Amino acid sequence: MNILRSFVRPMLAAPFIVDGLDAMVRPSRHVEKFEKVAPTLERAGLPPVLTSDARLLTRASGAVNLVAGLGLAAGRAPRTNATILAALNVPLTVVNNPVWAVKGTQARKEALSGLLRGAALGAGLALAAVDRQGRPSLAWQVRNARQQREAMQAAQQAAQRRYVTA
């Protein structure tokens, strides 16, 4: 792992670790935020079963954030953990920054700023999710092996035609 990755991954994971721990230990603040936007989310199609026990949902989400954040920070399955965090980042950003439900210009600016900050974190996580650390993808490796095999067969056939007497 190069020095940039060893510095950036923990920094990218830090907000998720802190927020996940807070959601597990003190879920009430997170539940309040969720309950404010739950009716809107239900109208948008969120199943009511998810809103029935907001405290359990908050703790479970916090646990996943914590574990995936620690995994990303430690460099253990970084692409998988970044994908998990990116998927969880979308609903958490929407719940924590409900631009549509905020009254007042200043509050709306703060919510919009938080929404954009969450989108930026999501973009960083998306980049971390596709980072192969300089190694080619499996599809490229298969394609390259096939091309090399075909080139070797063509070279063998050309050598046989040239040097083998009939």
Tell me the average confidence (pLDDT) per consecutive run of 10 residues in the chain, 166 residues long: 83 94 91 81 73 83 95 92 94 84 87 91 91 81 94 92 76
Mark whether 95 and 152 lie in a shared domain.
no
Euclidean distance between the first and the last CA atom of the chain, given in angstroms as a whole number: 56
Provide the pLDDT for residue 84.
Answer: 95
Mark whether 119 and 146 lie in a shared domain.
no
Mark whether 126 and 144 lie in a shared domain.
no
Mark whether 21 and 87 lie in a shared domain.
yes
Task: Quote the tokens at residue 68.
Answer: 């995936």
Provide the pLDDT for residue 107.
Answer: 87
Task: Quote the tokens at residue 139.
Answer: 């599809």
Mark whether 117 and 156 lie in a shared domain.
no
User: Range of 105's domain?
Assistant: 3-135
How many domains does the structure of the chain reveal?
Answer: 2
Provide the pLDDT for residue 123.
Answer: 92
> How far apart are the C-alpha atoms of 80 and 84, rounded to whole Å?
6
Mark whether 112 and 158 lie in a shared domain.
no
Mark whether 89 and 154 lie in a shared domain.
no
Query: 165 CB contacts (<8 Å, ≥6 apart)?
Result: none
Mark whether 39 and 95 lie in a shared domain.
yes
Mark whether 67 and 112 lie in a shared domain.
yes
Provide the pLDDT for residue 21.
Answer: 95
Mark whether 55 and 106 lie in a shared domain.
yes
Q: Which of 125, 133, 130, 127 is nearest to 1 (CA)?
A: 133
Mark whether 125 and 67 lie in a shared domain.
yes
CB under 8 A, 24+ apart: contacts of 75-80: 75/1, 75/5, 75/6, 75/9, 78/9, 78/128, 78/131, 79/128, 79/129, 79/130, 79/131, 79/132
> How far apart are the C-alpha atoms of 83 and 100, rounded to whole Å?
27
Mark whether 76 and 158 lie in a shared domain.
no
